Structure 1
Amino acid sequence: MSQASYSYGDITLRKGGAELIDRLEPLWLALHQHHQSVQPGFAYFSDERSWELRRSCYRRWIREEGSFILLAARHDRAIGYAFVEIQSGPDDTWVTGSRVAELQTLSVAPAERGNGIGTLLLDEVDNELKRLGIGDLLIGTLAANSGAQRLYERRGLRPVLIHYARFSADTEKH
């Protein structure tokens, strides 16, 4: 995949593909831990297993034509990333184009949250999607992650689906 870098003060955004996946582990684990803190009461995989599974998904998703990773770094230390999978469209319900983007992950290092890194990544996701001619974007978030929901809604996204789940591993049965 062709790589591009963009500088914003002391932050560099690097666009790439599979070669960036292994750099994402600490940021994925921070997000995995964040998920557990904002939505407790579910059985979660260990960090090691969670990364193993997510890494496998990333390796599969990045093969989709147009899919990309944006890695934010300060002084070559990874501080955030966006993973965007490009899927074939159109959707079977909503009118979409022939390609639809799904933001599979947006993660910002805990010490960097609230400093505009997520917004910077999302701005560049939008720029890249415009370059690709893709206007449709899907983003999922945990039901209890109101901060992420506010961020996405400020950007003009609207909730369209609510997923319900029953996980056999959960200790609390309802």
Structure 2
Amino acid sequence: MADVEISRVGIEVVDRLEPLWLALHEHHQSVAPPAVYQPNDRSWAARRRAYVEWMASPGSFILLAERERDLVGYALVHVHAGPDDTWVTGDRMAELETISVSPAARGQGIGTLLLDRVDAELAAEGINDLFIAALTGNDAAIRLYERRGLRPVMVHLARFAADQPGDQAG
């Protein structure tokens, strides 16, 4: 993938991420169990706020994957203090909060390139503990993470008021 350049950047690029976040938001709706999903504008507003918050944590970073200056993917890694309260971890841990590849570029190894660079950046910082959440139904992503040595350690269950008959998403 010599035609894809991966660069480490900061929060200054956050607004460039919106189209790829929205593509991921739509992908989630296509693979995850049925639910009432936020409209795109509210989803992006909430995710953008989260990105600003996560990036304020020292060591957090964004990786951009670009092909001929076109953004084709990104990863956002939130670094935070450890150790974990359940598992033996180091004093700093990382969570891959988002990895997104444009629909037209999926299946071309860009996600793997981003994950390789995430691992390299974390290793350079001496961070060995990485958490990644994947939606139920996003089987391709889960297989990719498992091939990289990650394993399921937690299952989140949810009940959403918006899914209940007669309730309206606010």
Tell me if TM exceeds 0.5: yes
Residue 169 of structure 1 aligns to a residue whose secondary structure is helix
Out of 78, 87, 100, the residue aligned to residue 85 of structure 1 is: 78
After TM superposition, the structure 1 stretch with the greater mean CA deviation from structure 2, 107-116 or 164-173, is 164-173
On the 8 A contact 2:33/2:136 being kept in 1, the answer is no
2-side partners of 1:65 and 1:53: how far apart?
Answer: 21
On the 8 A contact 1:41/1:172 being kept in 2, the answer is no
Post-superposition offset of 1:51: 0.3
1:95 aligned to 2:85?
no
Gaps of 5+ in 2: none
2-side partners of 1:92 and 1:47: how far apart?
Answer: 35
Post-superposition offset of 1:11: 1.0
TM-score by length of 2: 0.95
Match of 2:131 in 1: 138
1:155 aligned to 2:109?
no
Residue 5 of structure 2 aligns to a residue whose secondary structure is strand
2-side partners of 1:88 and 1:49: how far apart?
Answer: 29
Match of 1:24 in 2: 17
After TM superposition, the structure 1 stretch with the greater mean CA deviation from structure 2, 10-19 or 147-156, is 10-19
**Aligned length in residues:** 166
Residue 158 of structure 2 aligns to a residue whose secondary structure is coil
1-side partners of 2:141 and 2:32: how far apart?
Answer: 13
Match of 2:119 in 1: 126
1-side partners of 2:123 and 2:78: how far apart?
Answer: 15
2-side partners of 1:85 and 1:49: how far apart?
Answer: 22
Residue by residue over 1:86-141, the C-alpha shift from the partner in whole angstroms, topping out at 9 and shown as x without a partner, is 01100011000000000000100001111000000000000000011100000000
Residue 61 of structure 1 aligns to a residue whose secondary structure is helix
Post-superposition offset of 1:16: 0.9
2-side partners of 1:114 and 1:155: how far apart?
Answer: 16
Root mean square deviation of aligned Cα: 1.2
On the 8 A contact 1:42/1:171 being kept in 2, the answer is no
Match of 1:73 in 2: 66
Residue by residue over 1:46-72, the C-alpha shift from the partner in whole angstroms, topping out at 9 and shown as x without a partner, is 011100000000000000000000000
2-side partners of 1:171 and 1:111: how far apart?
Answer: 35
1:48 aligned to 2:56?
no
2-side partners of 1:172 and 1:30: how far apart?
Answer: 28
Q: Percent identity?
A: 58
1-side partners of 2:163 and 2:110: how far apart?
Answer: 34
On the 8 A contact 1:62/1:85 being kept in 2, the answer is yes
TM-score by length of 1: 0.93
